[in-house]
Amino acid sequence: MSNDKLSRRHFVQITGSIFMASIGISTLAALLQGCRKEETTPIQPPIESKFTIKLSEHPELAQVGGFKVFNINSTPVIIFRTGQTTFKALSMICTHQGCTTNWVNTAQQFQCPCHGSKFDKDGKVIQGPATQNLRTYTTEYKSDTNELIIYF
């Protein structure tokens, strides 16, 4: 009989070599993949909807500093007149757990009655537990028709 059996030492050496080679090949493949230019599909911007406010029908917004809450797509949105031709629109939904905030005009801040989050007049978090600012909507004032368009 011939002695064709592998010694334990020789078996461990071969197995270890194969294992190390496979790790090396995997690492090299991952590195080369990272260098390859990815082909991506451009992201299409979402189609925006519009909400139009005829300012002549809302005297609360006639003067700078005026404000009014509107319900846009079931979301309470507060509109502030910040200048002769400028407006700010903010969602009143707290970013913590979705409660509706209250605008406290004397404190010039939004306060969430559910968990105590507070936001400044620009919707920025000033007290948690919320960590994200209130959502801001783009506005456009049409002086020729005296209308305000809110994009959402």
Gap between the Cα atoms of 145 and 62, Å rounded:
14
| pLDDT of 145 over the 70 cut | yes
Q: What are the CA-CA distances from residue 93 to residues 105, 121, 125 (Å)? A: 17, 14, 13
Q: Which of 14-18, 51-55, 79-83, 115-119 has the lowest mean pLDDT?
A: 14-18
19-65 pLDDT tens trace: 677 776 776 666 556 544 444 445 555 557 899 999 999 999 999 99
Where do the domains of the chain lie?
50-151
Q: Are 100 and 92 in contact (CB under 8 A)?
A: yes
pTM over 0.75: no
What pLDDT is attached to residue 36? Answer: 46
CATH of domain 50-151: 2.102.10.10
Gap between the Cα atoms of 135 and 149, Å rounded:
16
Q: What is the mean pLDDT of the chain?
A: 84
Gap between the Cα atoms of 141 and 110, Å rounded:
24
What pLDDT is attached to residue 3? Answer: 60
Question: Can you read off the two tokens belonging to residue 71?
Answer: 């319900």
Please report, in angstroms and rounded to a whole number, the separation of the first and last CA atoms in the chain.
Answer: 85
Q: Are 112 and 96 in contact (CB under 8 A)?
A: yes
Question: Can you read off the two tokens belonging to residue 39?
Answer: 């082909």
Residue 44 or 130, more confident: 130
